Amino acid sequence: MAFRFPNPLALLAAPAIILIAGCSGGVAASGFHLTESIKLSSPATSADTSRRVPFTATLSGGEPASVRWSLSGGDPVSGPGSISPAGLYTPPAYLTQDSATVLITATSAADPPQPASLALTLTPGFLQPLTPGNLALGPGASAALSGSITQVGGTTGLRFSLAATPTGPSQPGLGTLSDPTCHHAPVTTPTPAYTTCTVTYTAPPVLAGNAQVYLLAQAPGQSTPTPRSWTHILLNPAGITSNPVAHQTRLPVPIPLGVSSGNNLDYDQSGGQLSDCCGGTLGALVQDTSGNQFVLSNNHVLARSDQAFPGETIVHPGLIDNACTPFGYGPGTSAVASLAGYPPLASPATNVDVALARPALGAVDPHGAILELGARQPDGTLAPAPPGTSCSAGRGQPPTLGMTVAKSGRTTGLTCAPVTAIAVDVTIDYYSDCAETQHAFTRTFTNQVVISGASFSDAGDSGALVVDAATAEPVGLFFAGATDSNGIEQAIASPAPDVLSALSAQVPGPAGPTAYTFVGAQDHPVACLAYSAAQPRVVTAPTAAALAQAIAVKQRHAAQLLKGNPAIFGIGVGQNPDNPAEAQIVLFVDRSRAPGPLPTTLEGFRTRLVLMDRPHVTRAHGQTPTPPHPDATPDFRFQLPLPR
């Protein structure tokens, strides 16, 4: 998946929550005519700046009331926000104080007008998820974590605590936290910045085994943690330290793979200014039959979902990790490659999301080393290492059910989880902009792979190479995913042999038609970091005959199920969690939609449902560093056109 960080403008103008009920009424000034009162209702009496909330105006009998809306109060600088004619309230993009109160008033068209008002308390919301979102630490090891909220100025900041689950409550004995340090830039500074708080976590000095800890952060006025506001920490007695921040920072050339990257033109613009940007991961190194080397990632990471032209600049780190500053317009990135080619996603002949870029001289490690794919070093970190290619001669291997796989990506770093479904047909939406407001096309991919694990992947990991954890042999290329109803990431990857076949068929080399192979070294194990409960490599699995039969059944029903039920977006073959020797048909269902009747069996094979968010390509979003402050000139608002 390629991960996108929403820009402050889009993020801060996003949904909010509010209100309670209130009413007022009266008697007409003439004719002693009684006018029905107006009643306001909404889900809450408080809101943060990251959500919108609907308001409803009704008459005393419950009928919808015809009203005009007005707002008063709010933040002294950013104002009260806005409200649509339908009553959908949008908070201001930021606050300049710890909280503010907005009065929402609905006035009827009656004669005389009948007003009703509700007071809403506003507090700052999260600007982006905590950084990092996950990490691994050994006994007594420490790491700094930070979060930003949509507040300029003010006096309070984030409150941090430790818990055994992402919803709390806080719990002692899970390690220690330093006193947080918060930076509050005064509102009067020329370029005021959002409030950022940093805390240092230290693991317990002794660990009996692997343990899961969650660092929770709460913004001012927030009573419970949100999915944006916790970090998943894996404590391990092996003493391995793995921090995804290392994948996001600018590294000296030649750079390893598994790091932040993207197209230098992968940004949105509005009103002649850059508004946000996106990017993902440089996954692996491949070579053609003439020995020419190329970096491998997704089409939507390197080629902007079919919008790019060969020769466009590929940068490291991606714009998402450089405050959306393009190469050639400011410091912070290196031009490491140029786009070479890609199978077009819009073509019915394409069944993978992949692109190639030609490395600049000396810019990329020529041995194909991937960050953290090697052995533990004396300081606890994991060394870079190439994938294993000795068994497959660089052609990659197909993943199998139950196989434990690893990936090294921009956002979650090195993670491991099992393959839970194969031969998956899945529908994915693509957008032409980073903010995902302009739908481009929808593709149904066949024969894909699903990997399931807590914190296995996230936005920005798009393009990461998936390898067999036992041998480091390439088995897939990660490009999309989402979270299921149990909070487990369901990652979608294309089988590695299919990726190479598509490149060989659709992307000629400099000398013409060619075959591509992965650049690597001897097979070797990967130091696996599994943030889910330990799951041993499956030994007992469905027989080849049973799998072939289940796949044939899936193929006979896939098109009808995907087209006939809008809640179903994927169908594949897995195994019964209680009896791994039994093959099952797996249905991936949108948990936000009523699916209606679903089959419990298909031609004798039992079905298993995975309720989850609709999957998306996992680019990450980035944003410019300052909010839209009316009293200051932002220090980073590009005037386009930018350098090409």
* pLDDT reported for residue 36: 65
The whole-number average pLDDT for the span 53-67 is 89
Q: What confidence score (pLDDT) does residue 184 get?
A: 84
User: What is the CATH number that goes with domain 8-123?
Assistant: 2.60.40
Q: Higher-confidence residue: 16 or 169?
A: 169
Q: How far apart are CA 176 and CA 172, in angstroms?
A: 9
Average pLDDT, integer, range 394-417: 96
What's the pLDDT tens digit per position in 145-189?
A: 999 898 888 888 899 999 999 888 888 899 999 999 998 878 877
Judged against a pLDDT cut of 80, whether residue 537 lies above it is answered with no
Does 535 have pLDDT greater than 70? no
- Mean pLDDT for 414-433 is 96
- Under the banding of pLDDT at 50, 70 and 90, the label for residue 227 is low
Which pLDDT does position 536 carry in this prediction?
A: 54
Instruction: Determine the pLDDT at residue 620.
Output: 64
* pLDDT > 90: percent of the chain: 69
**643 pLDDT band (50/70/90 cuts)?**
very low
Helix then strand count (H, E) for the chain reads: 5, 39
> Which residues touch 118 (CB under 8 Å, ≥6 apart)?
18, 19, 20, 21, 22, 40, 42, 45, 55, 103, 104
Which pLDDT score, from 0 to 100, does residue 628 have? 46
Secondary-structure class of domain 134-241 per CATH: mainly beta
Residue 10 has pLDDT above 60, yes or no: no
* Distant-in-sequence, close-in-space partners of 512: CB < 8 Å, separation ≥ 6: none
Contact of 15 with 53, CB cutoff 8 Å: yes
Q: Which residue has the higher pLDDT, 633 or 501?
A: 501
Phi-psi region of 435 (alpha: psi -120 to 50; beta: other; left: phi over 0): alpha
Distance CA(521)–CA(482), nearest Å, equals 32
pLDDT at res. 451:
98
- Per-residue pLDDT, averaged over 305-322, amounts to 96
Nearest Cα to Cα of residue 89 among 107, 105, 75, 65: 105
- Asked if the model's pLDDT at residue 306 lies above 50, the reply is yes
pLDDT given for residue 114 in this prediction:
82
For residues 441-447, give the mean pLDDT: 95
Of the listed ranges 191-195, 236-240, 292-296, the one predicted with least confidence? 191-195
Cβ 343 vs Cβ 506: under 8 Å? yes
What is the average pLDDT value for the chain, to the nearest integer? 88
Name the nearest CA neighbour of 251 among 316, 315, 301: 316
Distance, in Å, from the CA atom of 25 to the CA atom of 20, rounded to the nearest integer, reads 17
3-state helix, strand, coil in the chain (%, to 5): 5, 40, 50
Q: What is the pLDDT of residue 22?
A: 37
User: What pLDDT score was predicted for residue 247?
Assistant: 97
Q: Diameter of the chain by CA atoms?
A: 94
Q: What is the 3-state secondary structure (H, E, C) of 410-465?
A: CCCEEEEEEEEEEEEEEEEEEECCCCCCCEEEEEEEEEEEEEEECCCCCCCCCCCE
Q: Tell whether the model's pLDDT for residue 219 goes beyond 90.
A: no
Q: Average pLDDT, stretch 349-354?
A: 97
Q: What is the pLDDT of residues 474-500, one digit of tens each?
A: 999 999 999 999 989 999 999 999 999
Apex 94 CA angle, 91 and 100, nearest 5 = 65
The pLDDT, as a whole number, for residue 128 is 78
Q: Which residues of the chain does CATH 2.60.40 include?
A: 8-123, 134-241
Q: Is the pLDDT of residue 105 over 90?
A: yes
